[in-house]
Amino acid sequence: MKMVDIATNLQAIRDKIVAASAKRALEYKYFEPQLVAVSKFHPAEAVITAYEAGQKHFGENYVNELADKANSSDILEKCKDIRWHFIGHLQKSNVNKLLKVANLHIVETVDSEKIATALDSAWPKFRKSDDAKLKIMVQVNTSREEAKSGCEVENASSMVKYIFEKCPNLEFTGLMTIGEYGYDVSKGPNPDFLALKDVKAKVCEDLGLDTKKVELSMGMSTDYEHAIELGSSLVRVGTAIFGERPKKV
């Protein structure tokens, strides 16, 4: 796919997001879904093209790739308001490298108390102001697949409680799931999306949280419209914007 198609693809996706938003239940009308452009394996030039087409939020799956892209001179110069979402599995050994990333906006994949503690302990060394907390989401393994990261559905409330009580440098913003790949929506609503909605309701009930202040990150290139209709706050779209991913080198 040619680079010149990126702006066209972005506009098509934005139009579909608007259309899907119009189909939502009234309970979701208080927010507009946010598009996170997943630039995994795509070059910095593709990120810059998307940024110049108005896209500000970008997601990366690997710490090393994110660090290389975000700290590259071209992106630092041409994408001053870029906001990076880390959306891959995070190991404790990579926490410091991740937190050094320029314009890191949020870590969407906090899946254990160990990772939450490591982020909380390290963040003061990297934040720009004394009161700035690191935005995070708790990843939930709604599909219960062994190959996928995320805390168990039953442990979500205790994970969020731990962050509120033990991690003063973290700002919990919501819940994230990857879910089963390739689910056929003709069978009905995606059970992983329904599961994450149920987890949100349970977490809010257990901890007395305002449901309007807990976001959901679910939905990718093949199912983001469906996710939005079910109440997703953020959708992570890569292939539909940038084309098929190059092979990892």
Structural domains of the chain in order of their starting residue, each with its CATH number: 6-21+28-242 (3.20.20.10)
What pLDDT, on a 0 to 100 scale, did the predictor assign at position 182? 82
Residue with the larger pLDDT of the pair 169 and 147: 169
Mean pLDDT value of segment 113-126: 97
Which residue in 197, 115, 202 sits closest to 150, CA to CA? 115
What pLDDT, on a 0 to 100 scale, did the predictor assign at position 186? 84
Range with the poorest average pLDDT among 56-65, 74-83, 173-182, 194-203: 173-182
Chain-centroid distance, C-alpha 147:
19
What pLDDT, on a 0 to 100 scale, did the predictor assign at position 130? 78
Whether 234 shows a pLDDT value over 60: the answer reads yes
Mean pLDDT value of segment 190-212: 97
What pLDDT, on a 0 to 100 scale, did the predictor assign at position 141? 95
What pLDDT, on a 0 to 100 scale, did the predictor assign at position 248? 64
191-207 vs 156-166: helix axis angle to the nearest 10?
50
What pLDDT, on a 0 to 100 scale, did the predictor assign at position 30? 94
The backbone torsions φ and ψ at residue 76, rounded to the nearest 5 degrees and listed phi first, read -60, -35
Indicate the pLDDT class of residue 249, thresholds 50, 70 and 90: low
201: which residues sit within 8 A by CB, 6+ positions away? 211
Residue with the larger pLDDT of the pair 237 and 188: 237
Helix (H) or strand (E) holding 155: none
Mean pLDDT value of segment 68-97: 97
What pLDDT, on a 0 to 100 scale, did the predictor assign at position 131? 81
Indicate the pLDDT class of residue 1, thresholds 50, 70 and 90: very low
Is 228 within 8 Å of 17 (Cβ atoms)? yes
Which residue in 106, 92, 165 sits closest to 138, CA to CA? 106
Is 46 within 8 Å of 6 (Cβ atoms)? yes
Per-residue tokens: 174: 């919501």
Mean pLDDT value of segment 169-175: 98
